[in-house]
Amino acid sequence: MPASSSSLDMSSLWMPFTANRQFKAHPRLLAGAQGMYYTAADGHRVLDGTAGLWCVNAGHARPEIIEAITRQAGRLDYAPSFQIGHEDSFKAASKVAALMPDGLDRIFFTNSGSESVDTALKIALAYHRARGEGQRTRLIGRERGYHGVGFGGISVGGISPNRKTFSGVLLPGVDHLPHTHAPEHNAFSRGQPAWGAHLADELERIVALHDASTIAAVIVEPMAGSTGVLVPPVGYLERLREITSKYGILLIFDEVITAFGRLGAATAAGRFGVTPDLITMAKGISNAAIPAGAVAVQRGIYDTILEASGSGIEFFHGYTYSAHPMATAAMLAALDIYEKDGLFERADALSGQFEDAAHSLRGRQHVIDVRNIGLVAGVELAPREGAPGARAAEVFAKCFDRGVLVRYTGDTLAFSPPLIIEEAQVHELFGTVAKVLSEIE
Ligand SMILES: Cc1ncc(COP(=O)(O)O)c(C=O)c1O
């Protein structure tokens, strides 16, 4: 069923990360959302297999969040966040801190994942400078990493189409770890792949090359989402933690996707039992009802930066909309829902069944790998000759027409439903994909 475009003038909008010409020729419009479903503009229901963009963890249009935002809009529509505050910003920070690993209890609010990443990188630099090691400016990311679209984020990121246009002006002094995608060793792993912990040892090579005294931080997604779901090999994150600690290098986990239940725990750090020095987050923090993000910072880092400064402003950084009253209202309501409904535990309890459903696609034509953890799965398809991404794009479009939303990146389909998904809907999700896979060329 084609989506309706009616007589809408689409010419003015430059759509982000979108093939604008293709989209405008064949638009796909959403008009409503409730619980597990979108409603397309032509009226057909679409099961949300991706929680929007990995962000609507509690499902759509939660009345508690709508009410909190509406109440706040009437009470305090906006409050400056520099040299003045409002109560909910402190309450939201405490509530976020309570979900973080021990010690990461200082919270800086942003409005997006990209801002959280740039904020975390700046905190890392400020920290080393505060402790008299201002020469530590090097930042280490990882190939295939996605850290948003700010100049900091694309510099440490490792997705080449996002970088190449800007290659001459990326941050200097950045290096990259190798990615961990190794289907020849790990295809069809369930949960964490057994092979690949040694790839973290590449950090030793990078340290030997540049010297630890020049390196400020390593940033990785504990589970790489946007590049097509790469689950960390067993022991890999532990190894990164050991090496960074040994050399006084800060470890940043970019948990913009993984925080707030996606892997069946409040954070991936908690899920994997590896505690970084900073955690970036966004998306699920407000259930995406209002843009919001945050960085959780180890208390010692905060104390060091504050103590090293004079009596004035300690950190020259912030956003007009840091801790926007509507965002803090949405965060407080969303975090309440996660707790009251036990959604992180629910995601964990459902993850085995989700894994089985994802791996039921093994053996279907075109499927060359299935990867999963928590309520995330990636299904990699063999690319069409000379047309990388085309096969997954066709699956995406056909699934949408049949009432199921999946995501694709390259030739990998990604699944990350709201944590409220029911077992029957898990089957509907993967069952629809199975049918479409059997039909396409
Ligand atoms: C790991 C990670 N970091 C950063 C971002 C950027 O977030 P935003 O699009 O909110 O700027 C994303 C977005 O998907 C992400 O997955």
According to CATH, the topology of domain 66-340 is Aspartate Aminotransferase; domain 2 (3.40.640)
Mean pLDDT, to the nearest integer, of 203-214?
98
Mean pLDDT, to the nearest integer, of 178-183?
97
Cα 105 from Cα 101, distance rounded (Å) = 8
pLDDT of residue 4: 47
Give per-residue burial for 124-149: e unless 16+ CB within 10 Å, then b: bbbbbbbeeeeebbbbbbbbbbbbbb
pLDDT of residue 285: 98
pLDDT of residue 5: 54
In angstroms, what is the span from residue 52 Cα to ligand 1's centroid? 13
Mean pLDDT, to the nearest integer, of 150-169?
96
Mean pLDDT, to the nearest integer, of 112-122?
98
What is the average pLDDT score of the chain?
97
- Report the CATH architecture of 20-58+342-439: Alpha-Beta Complex (3.90)
pLDDT of residue 51: 98
Of ligand 1's listed atoms, the one at least distance from the Cα of 53 is 14
For a mutational test of ligand 1's pocket, the pick from 256, 257, 295, i.e. the residue with the most ligand atoms closer than 8 A to its C-beta, is 256
CB 146 within 8 Å of CB 226: yes
Mean pLDDT, to the nearest integer, of 110-124?
98
CB of 37 closer than 6 A to ligand 1? no
CB 99 within 8 Å of CB 335: yes
Q: Where exactly are the structural domains of the chain?
A: 20-58+342-439, 66-340
State the pTM of this model.
0.97
CB 57 within 8 Å of CB 263: no
pLDDT of residue 441: 87
Mean pLDDT, to the nearest integer, of 107-126?
98
**SS3 letters across the chain:** CCCCCCCCCCCCCCCCCCCHHHHHHCCCCEEEEEECEEEECCCCEEEECCHHHHCCCCCECCHHHHHHHHHHHHHCCCCCCCCCCCHHHHHHHHHHHHHCCCCCCEEEEECCHHHHHHHHHHHHHHHHHHCCCCCCCEEEEECCCCCCCCHHHHHHCCCHHHHHHHHHHCCCCEEEECCCCCHHHHCCCCCCCCCCHHHHHHHHHHHHHHCHHHEEEEEECCCECCCCCECCCCCHHHHHHHHHHHCCCEEEEECCCCCCCCCCCCCHHHHHCCCCCEEEECHHHHCCCCCCEEEEECHHHHHHHHHHCCCCCCCCCCCCCCCCHHHHHHHHHHHHHHHHCCHHHHHHHHHHHHHHHHHCCCCCCCEEEEEEECCEEEEEECCECCECCHHHHHHHHHHHHCCEECEEECCEEEECCCCCCCHHHHHHHHHHHHHHHHHCC
CB of 305 closer than 6 A to ligand 1? no
Q: What is the pLDDT confidence band of residue 6, given thresholds at 50, 70 and 90?
A: low
In angstroms, what is the span from residue 307 Cα to ligand 1's centroid? 31
Mean pLDDT, to the nearest integer, of 181-187?
97
pLDDT at residue 146 tops 80: yes
CB of 120 closer than 6 A to ligand 1? no
